[in-house]
Amino acid sequence: MSEQITKEKYMADKRADINNYENLLKAVLALKKYFEEEKNAQFYFGGHLINSQKKENPNYKGDTPDIIVETSSKSLLGEAKKSLPDPSTFVSKEQYIKSVIENKIMAQLKKYDADFENLKIKDHDVFLLVPEHNNDALGILKFDYLDKDKHFQNKFFLLVYNIGLLANTKSIMVKLDYGECSDSLLLDKLKRAIRYNEGDLAKELAKFKIFEENENSTPVEYILTILWTSIIPEILKANDKEQILERYAKKENKFTVKLSSLMDYLNKLYTLPTYPKSDIMHHNDRNQFKTKPVKDAMKILIKVGLATELQKENSDVSWEIHHKPLPEKDEMNYFIGKSYETLNERKEIDATGIEKLDKFMK
């Protein structure tokens, strides 16, 4: 039976999870900036690729790398992880290799070691991007697994990233940690590391705030903070002048917003571009971000009295939002605290500090 944890531990665990999420986003944006500006490449976060050998299988739904890069002569297909499981929590090293490395990480990466009919540049390398601080996990991956056998037909390389404090700013570093890529100039650069100060990525960080490492992986409180501080104010500004004056006269910001509107803002303004399905498409052909995490975030707003769900209109969910200053200046901290309180009422917090949202969100 799981034990209930304290609010302090829950909030610390949540903050760490969100910090890992933001650090991976910064590493991905550092790669995006480098490839687009220095290699004149096309950079996509995610996409739907069709394996030439599996396309006739009616149960095959395609493969979806986290990152797709197209240079003039080579494509790169990669997986990105905000963290790796701690080997010390497993019974043995062998169990860790089997459960985590073979059945999860490598099983996913090996899907990209194939021919894809809709990949414009067919020749490609495969890579994995992970945080540098996962030392024990990386050691097992490199020396107890990758060194033991040849696992890929295409070239494979491992990238690690680190977000450090340099003077008064944060520094983002991505470098090669294992393997090799086909482009010798790129290989040399990755060995020396791609480095940017956080200020160098200001434009990218202001625009791209959401990505999905895997489905529903974005922390709910992170989504909620973006909705409250960026998207809802943007929708407020977009309303006509009469509505703004009416709300000003009533000294309140109550207005209705539809789920479809929130999704439009998230997918068009805040998510990274995805790989187009065909050469004639030069825009996102699918929405990277799904509705479930947004609905989950809105349910927390309802529980704290900042939103009311309205009757569905043509299957589109809508809410009345009561937008006002929060009791805390740190919006993220406020929403994490409220998440703890609402979940604690339902005894849905376990000893790991990660909330069990499934029952709560039904």
Q: How many domains does the chain have?
A: 2
Tens digit of each residue's pLDDT (9 = 90 or more) over 168-205: 888 999 999 999 999 999 999 999 999 999 999 998 88
User: How far is residue 353's CA from residue 37's CA, in Å, rounded to a whole number?
Assistant: 40
User: In this structure, are 198 and 228 located in the same domain?
Assistant: no
User: In this structure, are 197 and 241 located in the same domain?
Assistant: no
Two tokens, residue 107: 């099983």
**In Å, what is the CA distance from 206 to each residue of 28, 29, 293?**
14, 11, 21
Q: Given 149, 184, 207, which residue is the final one in a domain?
A: 207
User: In this structure, are 41 and 100 located in the same domain?
Assistant: yes
> Is residue 166 helix, strand or coil?
strand
Residue type at 7 in one-letter notation: K
Over the range 284-299, which residues count as b (16 or more CB within 10 Å of their CB) and which as e?
beeebbeeebbbbbbb
pLDDT score at 285: 46
∠108-114-117 over CA atoms, to 5°? 115
Over the range 39-49, which residues count as b (16 or more CB within 10 Å of their CB) and which as e?
bebbbbbbbbb
Q: Which residues pair with 131 in a beta bridge?
A: 161
Is 6 domain-assigned? Answer: no
pLDDT score at 242: 52
User: In this structure, are 155 and 271 located in the same domain?
Assistant: no
> Is residue 271 helix, strand or coil?
strand
User: In this structure, are 46 and 177 located in the same domain?
Assistant: yes
Please state the pTM of the whole predicted model. Answer: 0.86
**Sign of the C-alpha dihedral computed for residues 245, 249, 251 and 254 taken in this order:** negative
User: In this structure, are 244 and 312 located in the same domain?
Assistant: yes
User: How far is residue 28's CA from residue 297's CA, in Å, rounded to a whole number?
Assistant: 24
Two tokens, residue 316: 């589109």
Range of the domain at 45: 18-207
Residues 6+ apart with CB under 8 A from 54: 60
Two tokens, residue 70: 């197209």
User: In this structure, are 103 and 231 located in the same domain?
Assistant: no
Is 10 domain-assigned? Answer: no
∠306-269-32 over CA atoms, to 5°? 130
Region of 167 on the Ramachandran plot (φ > 0 left; ψ -120 to 50 alpha; else beta): left
DSSP letter string over 73-100?
Answer: S-EEEEEE-S----GGGSS-HHHHIIII
| Of 188, 177, 88, 95, the residue nearest 130 (C-alpha) | 177
User: In this structure, are 123 and 226 located in the same domain?
Assistant: no
Is 212 domain-assigned? Answer: no
Two tokens, residue 281: 């498409």
Residues of the chain with pLDDT under 70: 1-4, 212-216, 239-252, 277-289, 313-314, 344-362
pLDDT score at 276: 76
User: In this structure, are 194 and 234 located in the same domain?
Assistant: no
User: How far is residue 334's CA from residue 219's CA, in Å, rounded to a whole number?
Assistant: 14
pLDDT score at 78: 95
pLDDT score at 325: 85
Q: Enter the DSSP assignment of 125.
A: E
Q: Which residues pair with 158 in a beta bridge?
A: 128, 178
User: How far is residue 294's CA from residue 290's CA, in Å, rounded to a whole number?
Assistant: 8
Tens digit of each residue's pLDDT (9 = 90 or more) over 252-265: 578 888 898 898 88
pLDDT score at 170: 87
Q: Given 207, 232, 252, which residue is the final one in a domain?
A: 207
Is 238 domain-assigned? Answer: yes
Q: Given 173, 207, 241, which residue is the final one in a domain?
A: 207
